[in-house]
Structure 1
Amino acid sequence: MEEMQQPQSQLFIQDLTSEKRAAFYRKTYTHLALAVLLFVLVEMVFFQIEPLVNFAISLTQGWTWLLMLGGFMLVTNYAEKMAVENHDTTKQYLALLIYVIAEAFIFIPLIFMAMYAAGEGGFHILSQAAIMTLSLFTGLSAIVLLTKKNFSFLSSILTIGFFIAIGLIVAGTLFGFNLGLWFSVGMIALASGSILYQTSNMVHKYNEDQYVGAALGLFASLMLLFWYILSILNRN
């Protein structure tokens, strides 16, 4: 009896030829760039809908902020599972779309603060945060792509870190204390670790047909990094 072979579409990236790996990386980063562009476009549309902006801002106070974060985490978990556990490209695209829209909504209060509380300097803050985020993201991604090092060992560290962060956010919201600058710095470190982990997954974990799912994982880490860099710049 002939040995059953894994279908070509199910091959892991590390098992492919260098040409096919390069094609997978191009598709992944192209979809990441498209996700960022879609995020910007959706955000612009959202800011044209004043009731939606007011509603999002109203959710930042007290326990309603926890509900908003909880809803966002549920959407994130659903979208990531749909993207990563599916080999159906249509479902992966749907998951990416859902996630981008959810990110655009939760970013409304933070961008509002940057654009309106900072006055004319709002756009400068956003562009500065974007440049810093992309620079750090590029550097971290290059480390993985050039060294081919497997950063899967970061999984447990990131899980513990995110649970601690969620606990601090909940405590800060319920008891009314400001988490401060160092919390944002710690979250930037956590987001940086997540970028290393997600890029490593792209190199070692995904199948050839999961470039949309890989892009979603990278997009999630990129936006987390952008959130806390922008949060720090908003303090100035």
Structure 2
Amino acid sequence: MKNHQSANTHMVSTLTETERAIFYRKTYTHLAGAVLLFVVVETLFFQIPFVLNFALSLTEGYSWLIMLGAFLFITNYAERLALKSDDNTMHYLALLLYIVAEAFIFIPLIFIALSFTEDGSFNILNQAAIMTLSLFTGLSAIVLLTRKDFSFLKSILAVGFAIALGLIVAGILFGFNLGLLFSAVMVILASGSILYQTSNLVHKYKSNQYVAASLGLFASLMLLFWYILNIHVSD
């Protein structure tokens, strides 16, 4: 039993090509499942008037700041839960918690996107989703094919996201719109996060952390989708 557990906690970078392929397949299967579950939960939220109205009521002033703070707290908790534990049950719990939080905070933005079309079609959502998946696939392929280590991006991303968070809070407090340029910069930061998270997939994770790895990728994917969709609705 001890040998089996040890074999299951080898660093992915030390595994054979076949074992790495299995790890990648598990990770991206869970990522696809997370995206599908996000769509299901989002759809359910839009069918529950209380949840929909409550989320929309939190989009103004300090209420949005509180909502953002709660989301960041849940994000931090889920990521720590996924990375600090070797229990896959905890990894699944963290991923589920994060998916629900993402679905809730996306309600106002998706509501705006849907309101742009009189027939209620999903044109804007579809366009944003296609652009997001295309960019995500291209960036992931760069890392997986070259196996380049993008860990140097960690400090750059930390500074970038700290500045971005400060601007978001300032925008909420003082009532100014950050505009398309900010969203474009955030798309760049989200792209850097995808490179970083995919690099971690190759170099930093253990072979039993495929659920935790999928959470990191899902977080970066949804951040990219948020700002690409925001550009579409602001255009």
TM-score per shorter chain, which class?
A: over 0.9
Q: 2:78 matched to which residue of 1?
A: 79
Q: 1:106 matched to which residue of 2?
A: 105
Deviation at 1:121, TM superposition (A): 6.3
Deviations 1:67-124 (A, max 9, x none): 0000000000010111122111111000000000000000000000011243336510
In structure 2, do the counterparts of structure 1 residues 140 and 234 end up closer, same or farther at CA, with 3 Å as the change threshold? same
Instruction: Give SS of 2:208's match.
Output: coil
Q: 1:51 matched to which residue of 2?
A: 50
Matches within 5 A, 1:138-177: 138-177=137-176
Paired residues of 1:140 and 1:192 also in contact (CA < 8 A): yes
Normalised to the residue count of structure 2, the TM-score between the two structures is: 0.96
Cα-Cα RMSD: 1.3
Deviation at 1:10, TM superposition (A): 1.7
Q: CA–CA distance in 1 between the matches of 2:122 and 2:60? A: 25
User: Letter of the aligned partner of 2:7 in structure 1?
Assistant: Q
Q: 1:209 matched to which residue of 2?
A: 208
Q: CA–CA distance in 2 between the matches of 1:121 and 1:44? A: 14
User: Letter of the aligned partner of 2:21 in structure 1?
Assistant: A
Instruction: Give SS of 2:205's match.
Output: coil
Instruction: Give SS of 1:151's match.
Output: coil
The size of the alignment, in residue pairs, is 232
Instruction: Give SS of 2:122's match.
Output: helix
Matches within 5 A, 1:1-236: 7-120=6-119, 122-236=121-235
Q: CA–CA distance in 1 between the matches of 2:74 and 2:107? A: 17
Structure 2 gaps of 5+ residues are none
- Farther off after superposition, 186-195 or 76-85: 76-85
User: Letter of the aligned partner of 2:95 in structure 1?
Assistant: L
Normalised to the residue count of structure 1, the TM-score between the two structures is: 0.96
